[in-house]
Amino acid sequence: MPLVLEARGLTRRFGGVLALDHLDFDVARGEIVGLIGPNGSGKTTFFNVITGIYWADAGHVSLDGAEITRATPQAIYHAGVSRTFQRSRLSLPLSIFDNIMIGNHKRLNQGLWFNLVRRQAFKAEFEESFANAQALVEVFDPPLARRMLEPVAGLPMIDRRRIEICRALISRPQLLLMDEPSAGMTHEETSQLMDDILEVRKRLDGLSIVIVEHEMGVIERITNRCVVLNFGRKIAAGTFAEIAADRMVQEAYLGLQ
């Protein structure tokens, strides 16, 4: 399968701390890759380097064959990378629709002439955007899709997570990075959200996902392959069964009995 993401020798230092240590990491088109490891192993740093929040001190990253190693976050977003965060980044007073549209600004005509003078074209764009956002939410939860103009402040955590994922997907990315999507949710809510993610991946043909998650049941259920980090270095890669049986992984993360 063709590679969507290819990272080679990726290195990032913070003073004397080596957060990423010559990391090689690939994601194929349509693949779900689990990224696991102890706290401080470099998982979120990897996401931040891929999305341009931090620059790599060494190595390179390419997306669909194009170099993005030192691109800006805006350029990487336009190239087709979106992400969610462990902590909610929703604007609670805004509606479901407004929050989702924050993730779609690359597809919106933001010119002053268009928005103030070309009112019919503006109305048509709004209606199309609303329909697209509503269709995306409906994949997750049809009743929620009928509440698009309600503020997100009154939503339970699972619905807030759904909206955050919809915001990341509305720009139609090639690659979605998800940082602990189950954080703050019950086991039942986590199971429902994983059902949602699998359904979205099925409908959005070709979407690739990298998911950071501490719930091993989630990793086992939805990933095609896993990569394990420890102190910024890749110590194992393979299916969940393979990495769970790896002694280095057991020592570093899963715990030996």
Instruction: Write out the chain's pLDDT in tens, 257 residues.
Output: 789 999 999 999 999 899 999 999 999 999 999 999 988 899 999 999 999 999 999 999 999 999 999 999 999 999 999 999 988 889 999 999 999 988 886 655 555 444 555 556 667 777 888 999 999 999 999 999 999 999 999 999 999 999 999 999 999 999 999 999 988 889 899 999 999 999 988 888 889 999 999 888 889 999 999 999 999 999 999 999 999 888 888 887 655 44
60-68 contacts, C-beta under 8 A, 24 or more apart? 60/7, 60/8, 60/9, 60/10, 61/5, 61/6, 61/7, 61/8, 61/10, 62/5, 62/6, 62/7, 63/4, 63/5, 63/174, 63/175, 64/2, 64/4, 64/174
Q: Which amino acid is at 234?
A: K
Kindly state the DSSP code that residue 253 receives in the 8-state scheme.
I
The model's pTM? 0.90
Sign for the CA dihedral angle at 98, 103, 108, 112 comes to positive
Domains, the chain, with CATH or none: 3-80+173-254 (3.40.50.300)
